[in-house]
Structure 1
Amino acid sequence: MAFAQWAALPWVKSQKDKIQWGQLTGSGLSIAIAQGVKQQDSLVLIVTPDTPSALRLETELDYLLPDHPVMVFPDWETLPYDHFSPHQDIISSRLATLNTLKKEQQSVLIVPVSTLMLRTAPASFIYGSTLNFKVGDILDTHQLRSNLEQAGYLHVQQVMEHGEYAIRGSIVDLYPMGSPHPFRLDFFDDELDTIRLFDVESQRSDEKVDKIELLPAHEFPTNEADIERFRINYREKFGASSSQDSVYMQVTKGNWPAGIEYYMPLFFEQLATIFNYLPVTTTVMQLGDLEDAAEHFWHDINVRYENRRVDPLRPLLEPVALYQPINELFENLGNFARIRLSQTKLATKAGNKNLVTSELPPIRIDHKLHESYQAFINYVTAQKKQKGRILLSVESDGRRESLLAILKPSGLKFKEFSSFDEFVNSSSDVGLIVSPLEQSVVLGTKPVLSIVTEQELLGIKVSQRRRRKHKYEASQDALIRNLAELKAGQPIVHLDHGVGRYQGLQTIDAAGLITEFVTITYANEAKLYVPVSALHMLSRYSGGEEASAPLHKLGSDAWEKAKKRAAEKVRDVAAELLDIYAQRQAKAGNAFALDGAAYRVFSDGFPFEETDDQRNAIEAVLGDMQSNQAMDRLVCGDVGFGKTEVAMRAAFVAVNDNKQVAVLVPTTLLAQQHFENFKDRFADLPIEVGVLSRFNSPKEQKDTLEKMAKGTLDIVIGTHKLIQADIIFKDLGLLIVDEEHRFGVRQKEKIKSLRADVDILTLTATPIPRTLNMAMSGMRDLSIIATPPAKRLAVKTFVRQRDADLIREAVLREIKRGGQVYFLHNNVETIDRVAAEISEWVPEASVASAHGQMRERDLEQLMSEFYHQKYNVLVCTTIIETGIDIPTANTIIMDRADKLGLAQLHQLRGRVGRSHHQAYAYLLTGNSKGLSKDAVKRLEAIESLEDLGAGFALATHDLEIRGAGELLGDDQSGQMQTIGFSLYMEMLEQAVKSLREGKEPTLDNLLQQQSEVDLKLAALLPEDYIHDVNARLGIYKRVASCANLDDMDELQVELIDRFGLLPDATKNLFSLQQLKLKASELGIKKIEANPKGGYFEFSQHTKVNPSFIIGLIQSAPKVYKMDGANKLRFAINEANARERLKMVTAMIADFEKKVSH
């Protein structure tokens, strides 16, 4: 067998033994390590010269060693002496890895040498500070709080990140360090009754567990004794402290300033190193020139120390206190058995073993040649004659299908295997696997085993790396109108009284009835108290700058006049919008048939858990496609939030119903990536996917066009070429448009003309305001995906003046952790000069530049080389705005960001942060004095909206900053400014609805509102139930927004889960909302009741049968009587408010039975 020579590799025999393996080229390195590890039962530590090689090894070894845990010990991802602290998730992962080392003997730990040099907390601290809880434990919650505080956990209102906890009555939420999930502990008195996992986004709990382990929240102790030790050590080291010394003062108060980790030695008697955690039986594998890498890093540490030690307010510890010097590092390495790994051939001597590997001859498939694969065929034939074996490795199922299709005419057959080992242990001479092996290699001497990777065979290509998703649902109403984010002093709109200023929540005891009110101030300091039961009357004001928002006077008619003027204008806009879409409405679309069984198989092929938002979007799209009306749906979701899968589901349904699908994208590079993704997703189905772009040769383009016309090509992806007049589809049923706002006017007109004929699905990360406005007016259907993928962190965003030192620091921080940087400079004429500047400022970086005036193929090659990390800094224009997905690019620096629009800034920032690493965006400006007011507001908006899923909120910000002038014309902009965007949109929605129903819109029906119910009943969320005022306000709004009983049930279950059993006052809140819903449905405007009686006020269009009311009065004239045309009064004698609620509910039930038809 060609692999037999590698079956038993030489291994170290005792501690301090030392051998070398040489001649390890390509993927031979990972294969050799994996073979060696399988023969051992002890821990293997692999030390690499840098982070990229550590990450590459982790990916390959994780595949080759499915039965062995493979871990990378994460770096802090900061520069020495940084004023940043590592992200909590990084600290969590580091602590979990150190904690695992005592349990996992037969595992692989990979550490870059720079990370190995950093000193760590001693094992006694981590093991001694770990807390363990199990069901049935007797725990006093006061003691539990104290334990958590001592362990450094942060008390919050709502747990979102590692190291946080929240206590709400008998419920304790915890997010333990080192755990992939947060937990909810439920106590019965002092006994721990249940432990459940919960989701940080939805805050809903699910699976039960028996026990949990809590590692400390930091890599240093945080209790009072250790803070005192820090203070003593600090004063000894740096002399007497002053009130100016912020680090000392903050730690004294129990706060942890950014960069506190660089003062870790002051918390301990002595720091440890990773070596202190390793069993003595550990084998160390050293990869590459570690001495050189260590010397470079030690030099960087000392340069940073010298540059930063001059700040008297932030004194620094010497490098040796934080890092192992080179002599100490290699002395520690020498205490373990070691194997040196080398790519070069070693001299023949004892302890040296060359594992024979060699490079493949040139066998790349060349599409320009007539028989593009001939060199590869010749190689396979020659190897077969010599009894050699060949294994093809591709990155995904889609690439497998592409490769097999290319090789089909050659007659070569490749058997597919599920793993590398399965092929090696078989008798097949040619095989194919889907694996992450990146580099080709020939193993052994004749007969050899040749591993041929797709990169070698097909050349560099662009592909998509998948990420996990998790659950959470977002409501567009909540995103726009959620009051929970309001701050005191911000404008707020009351439906009856106009625009005032929000001042907070206030609890008032009126005649023994405790009620919570929202306080609003109006002109002349007049105050309005709005009970939380009337929260549906309030909406956020947006539509202009807050400072210029009107402040109305209570009791004046100015607000009524403003509403009337807006109502008149809204009617005109609604009529115009209806006209635009009349053609689509009138023309019946194709009702697609859904094959349930086939669809389920396809959807099960999605390798991640769908988010609730994603599921909702998919269901909405499928519903549209199965209806008789042509679909026109906009799916809005941030970059990387799963819009593509929604499009793929729609494409599957269309193709399965014998229709063709066109996917229209703005750039050639994006077409190529979408092609890869679609090809991958449809790999196992008899569905043909093609691409039409300038990357194809004329012959390939001609073939694609012919297949489109014949109908043999099911899905075609391309740029605007796809919608040119001479393009013919046999039967186009679905058009998917990605980033519509990137197309020119002519292309948009063409798309618009297609609208009436085919189903259209538009995908966008930041909807331009016009699109958003039409969608929200009900003219185009809108789905929002506001759920970030699991472990995707918000992008840290800084607005700074351009500065060479800042740029150097930002680039170094990224490339040190193995990442890549986009440097955006949107001027082709000066781009090469800027690239040269960066090379000069950061000589450690390899810099390339890219712009839209380059030849298309050169641009593709350059972007592919950047993807494969040939360069780590790309100086580029906005061509990357809708670019390919590069998960290792996690820093973007935007030169003259003040000259970019908000949607552009957001889109560009979305280019980074595509993985679990903390991403950074630096928005560089010129002299701040020269910035326009609009530019300042744009930069403030993007800096404040670090949240993932902020694209939707940004579009409404865009409305505020640019004003609505270009959206609807200046006249409409004025109306929106006066009454606020939310209310304007509500009126527009109602106007469209009325016109569709053939009714003329009136002010009353434009402002349809919930019924008012006042039963003098305590209905609120008590402060001791939900402490946080913003959380209370948000939940009040959610109660008021419940549209049906299901919504209310869902919310009640959530509240019980998060905060415990509902207090009576909260049950009343839900009962009143239920009453309001029923009253609104019946056309009852208002219900009021006190201990002696009350009334029902009916609207003009009430559904309650008048004859029933007459009968009621006749049957009990002492109880019921009419007061005017619309008010039915009733007399009762009931002091108990709960009983009044039952009586009114029973009367409503009677009304429901006697509805007029």
Structure 2
Amino acid sequence: MQFKFPNFDQSSRVANWPAVTGAALPISIDDYLQSATAPLVVICSDATLSLRLTNELKWLSQASYSVLNFPDWETLPYDQFSPHPDIISDRIRTLNNLPSITNGAVVVPATSLLQRLAPNDYIEGRALNLAVGETIEADTFRKRLQRSGYQFVETVRDHGQVAFRGSIIDIFPMGTERPIRIDLFDDEIDELRSFDAETQITVDKVEAVSLLPAHEIPLDRSHRMCFEERWHEAFPTIDFNQVSMYKDVISGISTPGLEYFLSLFFEETATLFDYLPDNCRLLFVGDVTKAVENYWKDITERYEQFSGDQQRPILKPSEAFHPVEVVLSKTKQYPRAALKEINASEPATREASIDARKEEPLAQLKHFIISAPKPIVISCDSEGQREVVAEQLRRGGISSNTLSHLHDVEYGTDSVYIMASPLEVGLVSQQPSLTLLTDAELYGRQVRQSRRRNSQSTDDSLIIRDLSQLNLSDPVVHIEHGIGRYLGLETLEIDNEKHEFVKLEYAGSSHLFLPVSSLHLISRYSGPDKDHAPLHKLGSDTWNTAKRKAAEKAYDAAAELLNIYARREAKRGHKFPHPGKALAQFSAEFPYEETPDQSKAINAVVADMTRDQPMDRLVCGDVGFGKTEVAMRAAFVAVHGGKQVAVLVPTTLLAQQHAQNFVDRFKDWPVKVEVVSRFQSTKVVNETLEQLKSGQVDILIGTHKLLQPDIKFDDLGLLIIDEEHRFGVRQKEQIKKLRAQVDILTMTATPIPRTLNLAMNGMRDLSIIATPPARRLRINTFVRERDNRLIKEAVLRELMRGGQVYFLHNDVQTIDRTAFDLQELIPEARVGIGHGQMRERELEQVMSDFYHRRTNVLVCTTIIETGIDVPNANTIIMDRADKLGIAQLHQLRGRVGRSHHQAYAYLITPSWKSLSKDAQRRLEAISQTTELGAGFTLATHDLEIRGAGELLGDQQSGQIQSVGLTMYMDLLEQAVADLRAGRTPSLDTPLETTGEIDLGCAALIPDDYIFDTNERLVMYKRIGNATNQKELDQLQIELIDRFGLLPPQLKTLFEIHRVRQVCEALGVAKLNIGQTSGKVIFNTHTQVEPLKLVTLVQEQPNVFKLQGANELRFSLSLPSVTERIDWAHQLLEALS
């Protein structure tokens, strides 16, 4: 491409390059870099532009030159937060690579120039290169990592963490995409493997890795001494004993916000320019001088605001940052140019659009093509979207060619090209002649979604089982002995062999030691009040009585449940024909890559709909994780099969957003989508309902009005419910009536307890979508007492990085006053107000203003809980968060964090002591559950807090309290299974023990193999929860991968669990095998045929003997562990 700019000015002046618009900016820079012999430092006026240019240049470069990004910290000056580890990782990688860069681009936001940096020799001196075959001494290596600031943990998840486990060392080096597993043979590096931080499973082998320091600030002894000396010089009158930050640093602890004290750790600090090669060129994009001056103004204002705090003194601006004049004078050392006029988009491209609602969607685009400079390139943000656009152009009579890259364009032709690229805006250029359009401009989309890569699928059952992990002093339920408290793991020596036990405390301070191989017999107690769980007395009949009463209630509840669902199960539903190629084509038009969880959910829904039983599936996934596309595919199957679809949503705003999404998604298909909402006139609504009755409307979207008797469908086949917990009792009853008649798909981020438990008991099918969009970070959540300074700081932090803020105030009477006070507190904010009592058009305008960034702070009620998707909003402040339920808190928090920026949620409350126990527990649950995809976990917290009384009615609450929710659900599940099988549930032994194995040998995870007690416990639980041989094999592979070869005791533990799985399948309660004798005890409903037992005794009378109705004894010599395991398998094989 021939976008030629003048040469850089070699004098002290700045060469002004021509103004550019739209995509001309990255294309022009790329054109320069393709032939440049020196690095180009692109200094942007804001962080958003910096990130955009980085992504676009990386794509344009085709790896012909390097593109480095040096991001801003994304914190406020003198903040008490530290940057996210991923940001630190990018910065350190760039600082490490800068001195050796020969050509390419370094993209920097202007604010980063003012930040003080460690001297060049700090990073260079602490970088450590490792390669396969080299030797490292473990202790020396550990000390070096400690000096470099790595955090020692049990499991590596984030940049800057390391875990030592014998011959295995896991580390997440700064600057790498994945953590690295170092496998040692003695002191030699035998293997280097990258692995997935979430699953901990190996991804690929690598030959070498560079370990960069984990922080920009060193905390080794020499630098702490420097800090101490310079601290006393900077703050001679401050009592350092009152400053927790000072005491932390002296103790070697990194504390949040330490970045603003970096100058105290070094005799001299550096600027970014000190890292650059001498032959660099600088390019200013936007008004960089104004940007740094504004940032300096913010710095001085915040210094004046916080400098009086004696418990957290701060350095003067000139000591914490590089002054503006210093930075600007440094720029004069380099040849430089400026692009001052930057327009975000090319206005001319707005004339080209595709409007699916018009009779001829491509009319505007065709008209535009006639007069636009040729050739024309249409850029799509994915390969899938490129194919969709190409097909649409073909049907509209516009021929096009597929283009792999912009560099391949043939100039001087009238061709229309289509390509996939990250370019966000288009351009219209006369010299050279070229028009570039993006699909966002063609379809009027405001924001693009990130595409998912390297996703891991989520095992629904694994998530459910993971909920039962134990903490010290938690109450637990043993199936035979009742409720006790978990006191940890304890190793005891029996017959000269070490055995590990779970220690449980019961009433009267009596203790039970449970072998770790029997961990499957206990579950976490999940009752309304864990602190006052009713502990049972060992040996008493109290537990059996409580269990019997609970079993009776569970039996009644099961009968009621089965009655409710019997009609659905027995009734033949509509069996939709499989759409085949049509569905494949519709799926291909989805412009983004499906996550594995999405694919699983879609396949399950299609399978449900194409069988002759009515579907009743729950899709549980966090906000923004892709549930809507699952609904689209279900709707497609229904409409293709000649049925109508109703989409039921809780708010009018969500109805509008869904309607737009459905219209866009079905624009190329003969499908009529309509919406019924209060944003429409009565006349329009009546016309829509008439068309619905006559079958002209295929998909109708609306609120609970859709359930009213006067709304008549011609042939309803599918009901899609979004956020069922938001509907009232009456609506839920109407939905319940529909359940036996039509297919139902429910989508939610936090299921209500009734919904969740029916799903977990197999009476309702469940799909979990827990894989988040690419680069989406977990949301930092804080519970704080109300403080205007905190609110101002939170809002300014977001506004300074170009973001937007939700301020939730759920009281319409005082919302105007709150907005006024907020505007007074933060004059630079553009404040809007939105609540459900506003006139429809007014509310629509408020939401539109916020979406298009005309306002940047929205003071609102919980009306934003569903539907409004503003990826640029990354901070939410919830006033009186103690008044909100956990489902609401989770949903509202999900409004932010929809991009790769760190998101913040502030839960503002009155005095903590004044809150109720339930409110405190809700707030603790939401603040502790910050992982992405946590909606499923939170639903279980919700059960614990609310006592699950509404599960089946208040009469069940007492039984749940007496035996715990997990046990109660087991009883309910057993009762349902018995009733379905035509058996009368046994109330005396409602839950029979299965799979208790004792082979008289050591079977444990040695503490020198997995040192961390909690990690060992989790692994015991996972091994105990394995339901088949394949799962055990996978766990063995994972353990070897993570911790090294299995020790003999752990191999035995796996063998015992292989025996346990066979015992459970056969209905064997206990299997004891010693060196000379043993016994098998069978359950009441054992699968072993009596005839086989009789045959066994008759054929080998010297070995076997029957003892009563359910016990088989045997005598034979089995001195070794291997012999006992082999014989156990032979015996079970004979009985099966």
1:789-938 equivalences in 2 (<5 Å): 789-928=773-912, 930-938=914-922
Mapped partners of 2:394, 2:1101: distance in 1: 91
Mapped partners of 2:792, 2:62: distance in 1: 40
1:1077-1096 equivalences in 2 (<5 Å): 1077-1096=1061-1080
The offset of 1:454, in angstroms, is 7.6
**1:364–1:373: 8 Å Cα contact kept in structure 2?**
no
Cα distance change of structure 1 residues 682 and 1057 upon mapping to structure 2, 3 Å threshold: farther
Cα distance change of structure 1 residues 1114 and 938 upon mapping to structure 2, 3 Å threshold: closer
Letter in 1 for 2:36: Q
DSSP 3-state at the match of 2:536: coil
1:284-683 equivalences in 2 (<5 Å): 284-343=282-341, 360=348, 380=368, 383=371, 413=398, 415=400, 418=403, 425=411, 427-428=413-414, 443-444=429-430, 463=447, 465-468=449-452, 470-472=454-456, 474=458, 478-480=462-464, 482=466, 485-592=469-576, 594=578, 613-651=597-635, 654=638, 661-674=645-658
Mapped partners of 1:46, 1:803: distance in 2: 40
Aligned to 2:38: 42
TM-score normalised to structure 2 length: 0.91
- Residue 74 in 1 paired to residue 60 in 2? no
Unaligned runs of 5+ in 1: 345-354, 1153-1157
Mapped partners of 1:169, 1:981: distance in 2: 40
Task: Tell me how large the CA RMSD over aligned residues is.
Answer: 3.8
Q: Residue by residue, what CA displacement relative to the aligned partner does 1:934-958 show, whole Å, maximum 9, x if unpaired?
A: 3232222222222333222222222
**1:172–1:186: 8 Å Cα contact kept in structure 2?**
yes
- Residue 776 in 1 paired to residue 760 in 2? yes
DSSP 3-state at the match of 2:528: coil
Aligned length, in residue pairs: 1132
The offset of 1:396, in angstroms, is 7.7
Aligned to 1:178: 175
Cα distance change of structure 1 residues 130 and 187 upon mapping to structure 2, 3 Å threshold: same
Mapped partners of 1:431, 1:710: distance in 2: 43
Cα distance change of structure 1 residues 208 and 603 upon mapping to structure 2, 3 Å threshold: farther
Cα distance change of structure 1 residues 124 and 603 upon mapping to structure 2, 3 Å threshold: farther
Aligned to 1:740: 724
Mapped partners of 2:814, 2:583: distance in 1: 52
Match of 2:217 among 195, 216, 220: 220
Q: Which moved more, 1:565-574 or 1:202-211?
A: 202-211
Match of 1:255 among 237, 240, 253: 253
Letter in 2 for 1:291: T
Mapped partners of 2:818, 2:696: distance in 1: 48
Match of 1:151 among 148, 151, 163: 148
The offset of 1:632, in angstroms, is 0.7
Letter in 1 for 2:904: Y
Mapped partners of 1:525, 1:926: distance in 2: 39
DSSP 3-state at the match of 2:1134: helix
Q: Which moved more, 1:16-25 or 1:268-277?
A: 16-25
- Residue 692 in 1 paired to residue 675 in 2? yes
Q: Which moved more, 1:714-723 or 1:571-580?
A: 714-723
Cα distance change of structure 1 residues 729 and 31 upon mapping to structure 2, 3 Å threshold: farther
**2:654–2:867: 8 Å Cα contact kept in structure 1?**
yes
Cα distance change of structure 1 residues 406 and 207 upon mapping to structure 2, 3 Å threshold: closer
1:178-257 equivalences in 2 (<5 Å): 178-239=175-236, 242-257=240-255
Mapped partners of 2:532, 2:905: distance in 1: 31
**1:201–1:471: 8 Å Cα contact kept in structure 2?**
no
TM-score normalised to structure 1 length: 0.89
Mapped partners of 1:510, 1:337: distance in 2: 79
Cα distance change of structure 1 residues 425 and 861 upon mapping to structure 2, 3 Å threshold: farther
DSSP 3-state at the match of 1:1003: coil
1:1032-1071 equivalences in 2 (<5 Å): 1032-1071=1016-1055
Q: Which moved more, 1:1089-1098 or 1:49-58?
A: 49-58
**1:484–1:1030: 8 Å Cα contact kept in structure 2?**
no
Cα distance change of structure 1 residues 56 and 176 upon mapping to structure 2, 3 Å threshold: closer
**2:248–2:254: 8 Å Cα contact kept in structure 1?**
yes
Q: Residue by residue, what CA displacement relative to the aligned partner does 1:111-139 show, whole Å, maximum 9, x if unpaired?
A: 22222111222232222211111111122
**1:787–1:949: 8 Å Cα contact kept in structure 2?**
yes
Mapped partners of 2:347, 2:462: distance in 1: 59
Mapped partners of 1:205, 1:679: distance in 2: 42
Q: Residue by residue, what CA displacement relative to the aligned partner does 1:557-594 show, whole Å, maximum 9, x if unpaired?
A: 11111111111111111111111111111112344455
Mapped partners of 1:357, 1:506: distance in 2: 66
**2:355–2:443: 8 Å Cα contact kept in structure 1?**
no
**1:398–1:682: 8 Å Cα contact kept in structure 2?**
no
Aligned to 2:138: 141
Q: Which moved more, 1:103-112 or 1:420-429?
A: 420-429
**2:1077–2:1114: 8 Å Cα contact kept in structure 1?**
yes
Letter in 2 for 1:101: L
Mapped partners of 1:716, 1:928: distance in 2: 46
**2:616–2:744: 8 Å Cα contact kept in structure 1?**
yes
Aligned to 1:970: 954
Aligned-residue sequence identity (percent) comes to 49
Q: Which moved more, 1:374-383 or 1:892-901?
A: 374-383
- Residue 98 in 1 paired to residue 95 in 2? yes
**1:490–1:546: 8 Å Cα contact kept in structure 2?**
yes
The offset of 1:86, in angstroms, is 1.4
The offset of 1:52, in angstroms, is 3.3
- Residue 1118 in 1 paired to residue 1102 in 2? yes
Q: Which moved more, 1:16-25 or 1:1050-1059?
A: 16-25
Mapped partners of 1:980, 1:259: distance in 2: 43
DSSP 3-state at the match of 1:890: strand
Mapped partners of 1:847, 1:398: distance in 2: 39
Cα distance change of structure 1 residues 468 and 775 upon mapping to structure 2, 3 Å threshold: same
The offset of 1:697, in angstroms, is 8.6
Mapped partners of 2:301, 2:435: distance in 1: 46
Q: Residue by residue, what CA displacement relative to the aligned partner does 1:66-123 show, whole Å, maximum 9, x if unpaired?
A: 5555544211111112222112111111112223334554433332222211122223
Aligned to 1:19: 15
Cα distance change of structure 1 residues 131 and 705 upon mapping to structure 2, 3 Å threshold: farther
The offset of 1:207, in angstroms, is 1.4
Cα distance change of structure 1 residues 216 and 609 upon mapping to structure 2, 3 Å threshold: farther
The offset of 1:1037, in angstroms, is 1.2
DSSP 3-state at the match of 2:951: helix
Q: Which moved more, 1:727-736 or 1:225-234?
A: 727-736
Unaligned runs of 5+ in 2: none
Aligned to 1:351: none
Q: Residue by residue, what CA displacement relative to the aligned partner does 1:1050-1074 show, whole Å, maximum 9, x if unpaired?
A: 1111111111111111111111111
Aligned to 2:110: 113
Aligned to 1:348: none
Q: Residue by residue, what CA displacement relative to the aligned partner does 1:268-287 show, whole Å, maximum 9, x if unpaired?
A: 23211111222333222223
Q: Residue by residue, what CA displacement relative to the aligned partner does 1:539-562 show, whole Å, maximum 9, x if unpaired?
A: 101121112311111122111111
**1:130–1:215: 8 Å Cα contact kept in structure 2?**
yes
Cα distance change of structure 1 residues 538 and 591 upon mapping to structure 2, 3 Å threshold: same
Mapped partners of 1:251, 1:1071: distance in 2: 49
The offset of 1:518, in angstroms, is 0.9
Cα distance change of structure 1 residues 120 and 736 upon mapping to structure 2, 3 Å threshold: same
